[in-house]
């Protein structure tokens, strides 16, 4: 069932469900527990980048052992995310495609075409009032 050029989210979801079932972990795989486990893995992922400053794309200068470790931590985060979306009844692939469409509307190409250096936050629509921004709310 593996895709020709990789693996599908559906395949990962099924493999992780079987993995959890075989070990009797399903009762513990609640949305909250999966989210907290994923956050822990995000911490481990963050540690790899801690104190390194800005890192170039492709990680030039990184040794293979560190890249292997990075791949393992990225995989941990992905696998918990896949399990969390499954536990919540969310089709992650469809949700991601929908989010890409929403971002295309929010950040149209014509607003970014002239300035390739800008980040999405530089071109994001700004709220017109304090209330829309949340700044005018009493907490």
Residuewise pLDDT in 10s, the chain (139 residues): 555 679 999 999 999 999 999 999 999 999 999 999 999 999 999 999 999 999 999 999 999 999 999 999 999 999 999 999 999 999 999 999 999 999 999 999 987 766 666 666 665 666 555 555 555 544 4
Q: Looking up tokens 């009844």, which residue turns up?
A: 89
Q: If we measure between CA atoms, which residue out of 1, 4, 81, 3 comes closest to residue 40?
A: 81
Q: Based on the number of CB atoms within 10 Å of its own CB, is 129 exposed (0-12), middle (13-18) or buried (19 or more)?
A: exposed
Topology classification of domain 9-133: Helix Hairpins (1.10.287)
For the chain, give every domain's residue range: 9-133
The per-residue pLDDT for 5 is: 76
Structure tokens at 7: 């693996």
């Amino acid at each position: 069932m593996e895709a020709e050029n990789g693996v599908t989210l559906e395949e990962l979801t099924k493999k992780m469900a079987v993995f959890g079932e075989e070990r009797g972990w399903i009762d513990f795989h609640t949305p909250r527990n999966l989210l907290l486990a994923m956050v822990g893995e995000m911490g481990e992922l963050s540690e790899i980048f801690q104190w390194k400053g800005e890192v170039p794309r492709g990680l030039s200068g990184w040794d293979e052992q560190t890249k292997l470790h990075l791949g393992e931590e990225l995989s941990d985060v992905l696998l918990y995310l896949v399990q969390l979306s499954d536990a919540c009844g969310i089709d992650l692939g469809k949700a991601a495609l929908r989010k890409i469409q929403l971002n295309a509307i929010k950040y149209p190409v014509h607003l970014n075409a002239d300035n390739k250096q800008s980040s999405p936050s530089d071109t994001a629509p700004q709220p017109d009032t304090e209330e829309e921004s949340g700044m005018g709310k009493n907490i």
